[in-house]
Structure 1
């Protein structure tokens, strides 16, 4: 027969072991977003995201880009800056069409799947920093 005062130390040790084993440690240095720069560059950080996800065949490229928004590297910034388009809103970055469309439920962009969190974070940070052509 078990004696309760002999079992308590063993149970305490087992519970402690399970708790320690179940803890995880996330090293931020290995996190893909951890290497994001403090200052976002349009040409270095944003254009590659647009090239990979937006200015593909039959989307925002060529002579007749979707929504008349050409996001090819050499045309992207001027297209996004069209007056009255709302693509870029530095006063309220989350209301910028280029950002809010990424989360649209009716017509999400890109249509073949969401951008990864690091890319959406880069775009928002660029908008918050004034959406400069740098």
Structure 2
């Protein structure tokens, strides 16, 4: 006579083993900007971010930019380098106003929505590399 009580545990562990062994995982990128260039260029990588998100109408552009910070392409670097402004802090990049304001809870920038992780990591990498005007 066939004994189900002895077969069921073997059947269960066999199915469990097959299921566990057949699982595979795709390797995800370890960093949101894995394809980012090694050296971040202000003119090539950062200015387009500023143009799309910061130097828009009624924000950081024109003759009276918000917070007196003009981030239009031809004025952005000079504005960010203002003495004592704290916009750029290469000694402690995460404390740079231009970076920390992206994560502010009281007045986040840009006001119409957060930047994606890839974009914020590009900005941080640029700051970590000395915030050069290249």
Q: What is the aligned partner in structure 2 of residue 10 from structure 1?
A: 11
RMSD: 2.0
Alignment partners' CA distance in 2, 1:128 and 1:25? 31
Which has more radius of gyration? Answer: 2
* Cα distance change, pair 80–20 in 1 and its aligned pair in 2 (3 A): farther
Q: What is the aligned partner in structure 2 of residue 67 from structure 1?
A: 67
Q: What is the aligned partner in structure 1 of residue 78 from structure 2?
A: 78
Alignment partners' CA distance in 2, 1:129 and 1:69? 22
Alignment partners' CA distance in 1, 2:118 and 2:86? 23
Which region of structure 1 is more displaced relative to structure 2, 7-16 or 48-57? 7-16
Q: Secondary structure at the match of 1:126?
A: helix
Q: Secondary structure at the match of 1:74?
A: coil
Contact 2:93–2:128, Cα closer than 8 Å, also in 1: yes
How far 1:24 sits from its partner (Å)?
A: 2.6
